[in-house]
Structure 1
Amino acid sequence: MGTLTGKEQSAFKLLFDWNFSLGGRFRKFLATLLHGRQTMVSFSPALSLQEIMGDSHNHARSVRKVNRILRVHFRQKKASVLGPDLSHRRMLVNSLIHTPRIQKAIAAEAAAQEITLVEAEAKARKYANEIASDFSMPVIRFLDIILTWFWNKLYSGVKINHVEPLKALAQSHTIVYVPCHRSHIDYLLLSYVLYYEGLPPPHIAAGINLNMPLVGTILRKGGAFFMRRTFRGNPLYSMVFHEYMYTLTSKGFATEYFIEGGRSRTGRTLTPKTGMLSITVRSFLRDHRKPLAFVPVYIGYEKLLEMASYLGELRGEAKKSESPLDIVRTLAALRNEFGKAWITFGEPLDLGSFLNSQAPNWKDSSGANDKPAWLEKTTSNLGDTLAGRINAAAVINPVNLVAIALLSSPRHALGEEELIRQLDGYTRLLSMAPYSDRTAMTDLDARSMIHYVENLQLIQRKTDALGDIISMDEKTAIAMTYYRNNVLHIFAIPSLISCFFVNCASITRKRFCASVRFSTLTCRQNCSCNGRNTKRWPWCKHGWIVWLQKV
């Protein structure tokens, strides 16, 4: 990411940034002239003029046909980079308010609350303004300058994996990004990476608690739309939000939300919450002319910015409310080392194909006002599948591996040579039997990993007559459980297999499979997980057995 530090820093140039309402030819000329380094050149596959014209000898008709093909091609290409054209926010709110569904909800609100239609419509308009983003390309360019500086101060690099297939998918599908949620940095980092890779930044569902003075305005212009924690007891707000989400998905805007609901305080992928998934599915049922794909995203950190507050919450302290002063605290933390950030794009999930497998008659529900009977179960399975694909795209970084090794040792300490052997064993195992084809792993050798984590001040070195001892103190050990939990599921199956050989040197396949079946049956009868989908419960040891049986 360091190559971006040479970009233009002039605020004047932002006035002539590219957007869908750029203006006349002179303004476009100035934009091209001032933003030369921001120009994206894309070479598409060649078009055969002979194949387009065919046997036609009508010159005028052939010219119109070529013009039409090129016009559609360039419109789609532009939308895949900038996103679809978004009308002025005021016009968007007006169009939302006058849709038949919201007009019906306004009438119901007026009757229920015994107020006039004008007052009820004013409430709906207030909700729409509270929710809707105010996407601005000049602000995106401004954030690009600020975040480029920020990332280079905070991290020693941002590693991106499996982004190329996404660029082709974005030209044919509406994209919904569903990343894991580890930090407030997540949505800034993901939007920045997509912009850097020539993809449109998504519209991001953010909690209303982030709609703070100044910060909320910047986030809103950067693509954030705000939502309340619950819609219960407010059918008018619920309808406005549903209609807004339908507008985004039906027009082909990329969106992003966290299916875990909140940030994980333990490092594990949390049980998915299906509210936003249900809204997306219902929007797709109303208009499925353009295919929609979910893109799971794994975001991993070698050192987390909010770790101190997480540890406090795990000790029972109340969660602190977000404040603009958090920005000052973040800037104060820039003097520390935070290692690298990692982003891996998981295997996309085509919603149409998923619905075909879950509810073959789903198209019969298209345009229906009510929730179809199969919706709850299908969205639950959808959440489990996406959580599994997020886990499958996990990144194994040096901090994860050192944490696993030291936390498994007595007093959280090992001799350096013993730790090297342990880390070498982990890397060989993961290289020979990778968790999935989307999993990424550090390319450092064991000794380099130790020095790397040592530079992050997460471990200590003590010199002894028999050699150096690598250890961590009690406070750091608690924090390191977070980084261990990030990748614990990757070692689940190898750990289970190893358990069968603890007390015996060999075991027959028949006895091995019988033990697995017995354990699985016991799990389903007696375990607190009740035999639920194990992608949703990756840390349940009985769930590992179900995984192994599938393998």
Structure 2
Amino acid sequence: MAQRTEKELQDLMDHYKRYQNIPVNDVIVVTQNQGANDPLSVTPETNEHEHRNIVEKEPRRILEDPLAFMVNMGAYYQGKGWRGYKSYIGNKIFYPDFSKNIKEKILSSKQVQDVIHQLADRQNAILEATRKPTKKFKKLSPAEQQKRIRKQEKALCHELEIVANAIVDKCISTMDNVRVIRVAVFLVNNILVRLYHQGIHIKESEWVELKRVALIAQQNKQSLILLPSHKSHIDYLVVSYVMYRLGIQVPHIVAGDNLDMPVVGSILRSCGAFYIRREWGDDIMYKTILEEYISILLSEGMNIECFVEGTRSRLGKLLAPKLGILKIILDAFLEERFSDCYIVPISLGYDKIIETSSYAEELLGTPKEKESVWGILSSSRLLQLKWGRVDVRVAKPYSLKGWLEEQLSMRGNIDLSDTHQKSVLLKSLGYRVLADINSIAVVMPSALIGTVILTLRGRGVGKSELIRRVDWLTKVITDKGGHVAESHGMSTSQIVDRALTIHKDLVGERKGKDILEPTFYGINPFELSYYRNQVIHMFVEEAIACVSLYTVVKFGGGKELQKMRYDDLLAEISFLSSILKLDMIYKPGGIESNTHRTITWLADNNVLEVTEDGWVGLSDVERACGRENYDFLCFMIWPFIESYWLAAVSLFSLAPPSKSSTKEPVWVENKLFANRAQALGKTLYYQGDLSYLEAVNKETLNQAFTRYQEKNILLKRRQGSPKPVSEVALSLDYTPDRVNGVLSPRGHLWELVERIGKFRREGKNRRDNATVSTRVIRLAEIVAEDNATPPTKAIFKKANQDKSKL
């Protein structure tokens, strides 16, 4: 297809704007300034409506305005305007036999057929090797024997084709009928406008740019790869809803097979969802079919949506990237299965997340509840609540081909057939996407409130102080290039009041005749930390620098005693940044340039000062204001440092029991070890040796254990069959010594504990290292003694103990 000029592309844009023409009597939000053509009609001359609530005038409840609600429902039924979804940008979907055609392409592909014959040959060879030839078979001529073997192989191929057919049926989406998604969008529209009563907000210029790129992709039969942040099950509903509403081809959505529920799973599949297993191990048939399906979608110019984090973030911040789907896409591109595609990072921001209470429980060790139809239906009570707004932001799309060429040019010669080098490239792409999401993320009022409340010393904060700190935080985020949700003319006091109303279950208010002003406090700091963590990416380098300086600040004394040489500070920052690298997303650049930029920012903002002879310490301005900004930055990162310290301490529980005579590593089931680490953490928290209960969360602990594996401190293996079990053990170099049979606070492992402990927040029970070591190691010893008992016996022992208590 010939390339079109910019003018022709603009004409196409105008055509797609005109298709959304909406009758005057329609209830879709069209302001006088917009005209009646396009929800995204924006010109270079004006930016008056840059931020828009696209559901501003949607009827929410039938009882509020029965006529408007019925007219709206009729518009969906008749397919008027954008609701009809007839002239979207992108290659054709939602036609009869759409999924049938895709299925036939998958099953008839060379890749799938080769695997079927390969598996049939393998099974046939095994059958022939194990079968005892019968007298009847021996009487057959060699040609007849071969004919019989081929017939058997053909039968095996037929059986494997049935298996492949079943996998395809369970996997692929069924986007065959536009009426199904039209009904689904009507339902989603009513759920979203009721639950998030302040609307769905977009930045128009971002979506106009996405439309422009989508037109180019359509012209070249290329796909958009939508990569949203993943905070809630609502995410995929919001993205598809906005894509549908603004006239872009809705994506095929990669979803875990745990969501393939009766009824609901089928509806989601009809709207673009396709379900994949979390793991497929050595199942070559499944792996090949999935790769072929995605490759065909890409070759057909179908948009694909997947969550680069892999799962919903239970912490509020972005998780490390999971690269499975991106690997399939990159491999298909390198195999020239498609010409190019466009990477589209998307940020989703909510005033309140539906699942935060269950997230907190899961992070503390409560087993995850399986999704069910009943679970979804029973949440209908949520529709009676009003949970603020949703912000959907889109980063500038970029070509995968262009990105790859840029990487190859920057990195020099890369052998893309080398697994390790390709893995480095993939990881770079994953973190590029996360950085792009962070760069466009909108900080919601709830995140501002949660951050302020959890980063102030004391039991609570007065209303006036809360407003002052929210103003300060808003200004700092904006000055750093971040984005805060639009206020639309509201005062900070009004914004704070709205956020407090939405989060009255998390933020309490103390008031009365004997209290001079209303005072707010965190009812549930653990759950509230979810919202604070949405801001951490803005301050992570500054927080690490401040905590590194804290290693001398915490000892008190005069100004001269609370400063560090710049080189010493750089060494502390390098260590801590390296330890936290899996949990934090840093700005591009090396540690030295990043530190220089960070210290410069802190000095420019009067938090720190740098002397001419190379000393770094607190500024006089910061000392005069009671270290409020310095402490704010430390409070941001302290809970994560606590988690990594706890993870290091819990490694003592992997020490061989006192009666063990061997020096070999003691292997413990990974899940059992993780549970023991959380039990140790909860005990330390309630006894005062851990400052934050959120430090016990299994998400950060698992990241810490992964980091210690990378540093060869913790070993990991998979044992057993047919379902292998993960086991962990302590490296011999880090196995602690015993003195008179008692674990000793010395050796490489204790050095690691103390090294991380330098950065921890001081507390009443944590000033004396000797006392800490005695208490912590005593508790770790209790757990380590259980290593002498096989897990199964330990379970029975506990069960019998529980029975004896009844």
User: TM-score range, shorter-chain basis?
Assistant: 0.7 to 0.9
Shift of 1:428: 2.0
- In structure 2, the residue matched to 1:446 is 492
Q: Does 1:193 align with 2:234?
A: no
In the TM superposition, what is the alpha-carbon distance from 1:288 to its structure 2 partner?
6.8
Distance in 2 (CA, whole Å) between partners of 1:80 and 1:265 is 34
Please give the root-mean-square deviation of Cα atoms over the aligned residues, in Å. Answer: 3.6
Aligned residue in 2 for 1:151: 192
CA-to-partner distance for each residue in 1:154-208, whole Å, 9 max, x for gaps? 1111112332211111112321011111111110111001111111111000101
Equivalent residues of 1:84, 1:252 under 8 A apart: no
Distance verdict in 2 for CA 1:446–1:82, change over 3 Å: farther
Number of the residue aligned with 1:125: 165
Q: After the TM superposition, which residues 46-445 of structure 1 pair with which residues of structure 2 at under 5 Å, given as runs? A: 79-80=89-90, 88-114=98-124, 116-135=156-175, 136-156=177-197, 157-161=199-203, 162-173=206-217, 174-287=223-336, 290-360=339-409, 374-435=421-482, 439-443=483-487, 444-445=490-491
Tell me: higher relative CO, structure 1 or 2? Use CA pairs within 8 A at least 6 residues apart: 1
- C-alpha separation in 1, matches of 2:245 and 2:297: 22
Report the count of equivalent residues.
Answer: 481
SS at 2:393's partner residue?
A: strand
Q: Cα distance 1:87–1:287, how it changes in 2: closer, same or farther (>3 A)?
A: farther
CA contact (8 A) 2:95 2:178 kept: no
CA offset digits 1:325-362 (Å, max 9, x no partner): 12222202222231111211123232112211223599
Equivalent position SS for 1:478: helix
Q: Which structure 1 residue ranges, 5 or more long, are not aligned?
A: 15-33, 42-74
Is the CA contact 1:365–1:372 (under 8 Å) kept in the aligned structure 2?
no
Distance 1:454 1:474, change over 3 A: closer
Q: Any conservation in 1 of the 2:509–2:520 contact (CA below 8 Å)?
A: yes
Q: Distance in 2 between matches of 1:545 and 1:401?
A: 30
* Contact kept in structure 2, 1:406 and 1:413, CA below 8 Å: yes
Over residues 273-318 of structure 1, what are the superposed CA-to-partner deviations in whole Å (9 max), with x where a residue is unaligned?
A: 1111100111222337643111111111111111221121122100
What corresponds to 2:7 in structure 1? none
Q: Which amino acid aligns with 1:186?
A: D
- Residue 82 of structure 1 contacts residue 199 of structure 1 at CA under 8 Å; is this kept in 2? no
Name the CA shift for 1:85/1:281 in 2 (closer, same or farther; >3 Å): farther
Give the Å deviation of 1:433.
2.9
2:534 aligned with 1:486, yes or no? Answer: yes
Call closer, same or farther: CA 1:303–1:279 in 2, change over 3 Å.
Answer: same
Aligned to 1:36: 80
**Of 64, 67, 73, which aligns to 1:9?**
73
Contact preservation (8 Å) 2:344, 2:394: yes
Percent identical among aligned pairs is 25
Which amino acid in the other structure matches residue 535 of structure 2? Answer: V
| Structure 2 segments unaligned to the other structure (5+ residues) | 1-54, 60-67, 125-152, 218-222, 599-806
Aligned-pair CA distance for 1:473: 4.2
Give CA-to-partner distance per residue, 1:464-515, whole Å, 9 cap, x none.
Answer: 666423313432x2221001101121133555677779899999xxx99x72
| Greater Cα radius of gyration, structure 1 or 2 | 2
How big is each residue's C-alpha offset from its partner over 1:112-163, in whole Å with a ceiling of 9 and x where there is no partner? 3447111111111111111110013211111111111111221111112332
DSSP 3-state at the match of 2:353: coil
AA aligned to 1:106 is I
- Does the Cα contact within 8 Å between 2:83 and 2:245 map onto a contact in 1? no
CA contact (8 A) 1:154 1:338 kept: yes
Amino acid at match of 2:520: S
Is the partner of 1:410 in helix, strand or coil?
A: coil
The answer (yes or no) to whether the contact 1:394–1:487 under 8 Å persists in 2 is no
CA distance in 2, matches of 1:270, 1:378: 18
In 1, the alpha carbon distance for the partners of 2:480 and 2:356 equals 32
Query: The residue matched to 2:472 in structure 1 has which SS?
Result: helix
**3-state SS of paired residue (2:231):** coil
Kept in 1: contact 2:89–2:248 (CA 8 A): no
Report the 3-state secondary structure (helix = DSSP H, G, I; strand = E; otherwise coil) of the residue aligned with 2:232. Answer: coil
Return the letter of the residue paired with 2:492.
A
Q: 2: CA distance between counterparts of 1:504 and 1:280? A: 58
Check conservation: 1:424, 1:445, Cα contact below 8 A: no
TM-score using structure 1 length: 0.78
1:232 aligned partner, one-letter code? G
Shift of 1:440: 4.2
Return the alpha-carbon distance in structure 2 between the equivalents of residues 276 and 246 of structure 1: 11
Q: 1:242 to 1:413 in 2, by over 3 A?
A: same
